[in-house]
Structure 1
Amino acid sequence: MSEWKAKRFWKVVAVTEAGAGYAVLLDTRPVRTPAKAPLHLPTRAMAEAVAAEWDAQEKEIDPLSMPATRAANAAIDKVAVQFDEVADMLSAYGDSDLLCYRAEAPEELVDRQAAGWDPLLDWAADAFGARLEPRSGIMHAPQSPQALARLDAEVRRQTPFQLAAFHDLVSLSGSLVIGLAALHDRMPAEDLWALSRIDELWQEEQWGRDEEAHAAAEIKREAFLKAKQFFDLTR
């Protein structure tokens, strides 16, 4: 038996003001989250992006084709109700940030990591007063509690909608600093994603591409870029 799928029942999608934000109407019915909360969005740009996703649905609703809607749902149903837990989880990346764990050899990879990652660590030190120190090898070595506290404060400045996007930027890249660099437009999201993949790209150069791993990485890259787009819609 095929799995039941929700059908399109509306003819017109519209954006309307709702409280301090905006809502999306399917004919006259406001969209709600999976937990049945009102889908109230903080900016008109976000509401229009969500509305466009609903309007693009044809006979059957495909949630995978609706990244802005899914991110907004997560912000309301999950992040807003457990903000501190999500912030704690993301701040913890700072103590094991991808950018701090360097290869011991070969020299070309060591140099490539330093050229790509040192400027981002320097930026975080200048922007937030948070100096994370690189180390060679894979053994964990704690970072400065003062630096981690400053990064944690920056994480907690985000709204639930921003934190929903930030979650994907950090977890997909493996780096709190890369996530913050994306929020602050330090460089294009595509470039930040490439920096998070230095090790993997090096392996591809040495041993050739694993097509299955490459396909999985492309899915993550697309999700990273969509997360940045969603964050931009919050502003």
Structure 2
Amino acid sequence: MSVWAPKRFWKQSTVTEADGGYGIALDGRPVKTPAKAPLIVPTRALAEALAAEWDAQQDTVRPETMPATRAANAAIDKVRPQRAEVAELIAAYGGTDLLCYRAERPAELIALQAEGWDPLLDWFEGAFGVRLVVTEGVVPVAQPEGLAAVAAHVGGLDEWQLSALHDLVGLTGSLVLGLAVAAGRLTAEDAWTLSRIDEDWQSAQWGADEEAQEHAALRRAALLDAGRFWTLRHTG
């Protein structure tokens, strides 16, 4: 059975000025979110990216090809009404951060993790004043109470920033990596590579699984989209 998809009905998408930022219009008709809220974003660069996604649609609208639009919709419809809860969810990753759980062996993988992750933990300590505890294995380890300051920082972000950071952190499994991208310490591509040290080492030893590679490619693309959304939020 075929799945219904909306058809393209407009000839041109344009950026419009609006109260609180910039909107998108299709042949002069303002675009709204799925929840029927005005689709108004904070920067012209982000609005232009959204307009380009609408312009790129052919006969059928394909939301999966519109990552910036989907992220903007999520920021307005999902994050804005529950911003505190989303910020708390993101900050909670600090308690189980990927970078804190190290291999017990072999020595080569231990060295790769230390080389890639220790400088980021150093940066995190310098930026937020808290040193995360590192352990071997997967048994949970308690983290310092100083993470409350990091949670306060995350809680001060707006819905656009949280929409991007949610994916930057969730897709890497690391609050440290997500915040490093947000701070310009890493690119999203760098964060992806660092988050995959274990998987890439395993693949090098035993060969890659085709299905796992396909899944990883989708996650990498989503992470790069989140990094781009963060950048567009901060580009005038």
Which TM-score bucket, shorter chain as reference? over 0.9
The whole-number CA distance in structure 2 between the counterparts of 1:28 and 1:104 is: 60
Identify the residue that residue 51 of structure 1 maps to in structure 2.
51
Identify the residue that residue 198 of structure 1 maps to in structure 2.
197
Report how far residue 151 of structure 1 moved.
1.4
Report how far residue 20 of structure 1 moved.
2.0
- In structure 2, runs of 5+ residues without a counterpart are none
1:143 partner letter: Q
Identify the residue that residue 214 of structure 2 maps to in structure 1.
215
Identify the residue that residue 91 of structure 1 maps to in structure 2.
91
Range with greater deviation from structure 2 (128-137 or 95-104): 128-137
1:49 partner letter: A
TM-score, length basis structure 2: 0.97
1:52 partner letter: A
2:81 partner letter: V
The whole-number CA distance in structure 2 between the counterparts of 1:108 and 1:151 is: 32
Question: Helix, strand or coil for the counterpart of 1:10?
Answer: coil
Report how far residue 46 of structure 1 moved.
0.4
Per-residue Cα deviation, 1:5-37 (whole angstroms, up to 9, x for no partner): 111111121111000200000011100000000
The whole-number CA distance in structure 1 between the counterparts of 2:153 and 2:139 is: 27
Question: Helix, strand or coil for the counterpart of 1:215?
Answer: helix
Identify the residue that residue 118 of structure 2 maps to in structure 1.
118
The whole-number CA distance in structure 2 between the counterparts of 1:152 and 1:130 is: 12
- Alpha-carbon RMSD: 0.8
Whether 1:136 aligns to 2:136 is yes
Report how far residue 213 of structure 1 moved.
0.3
TM-score, length basis structure 1: 0.98
The whole-number CA distance in structure 1 between the counterparts of 2:188 and 2:71 is: 18
2:129 partner letter: G
1:215 partner letter: E
The whole-number CA distance in structure 2 between the counterparts of 1:188 and 1:39 is: 28
Question: Helix, strand or coil for the counterpart of 1:25?
Answer: strand
- In structure 1, runs of 5+ residues without a counterpart are none
Range with greater deviation from structure 2 (152-161 or 112-121): 152-161
The whole-number CA distance in structure 1 between the counterparts of 2:204 and 2:3 is: 42
Question: Helix, strand or coil for the counterpart of 1:64?
Answer: helix
Report how far residue 202 of structure 1 moved.
0.8
1:87 partner letter: A
Aligned length: 234
Identify the residue that residue 152 of structure 1 maps to in structure 2.
151
The whole-number CA distance in structure 1 between the counterparts of 2:128 and 2:145 is: 14
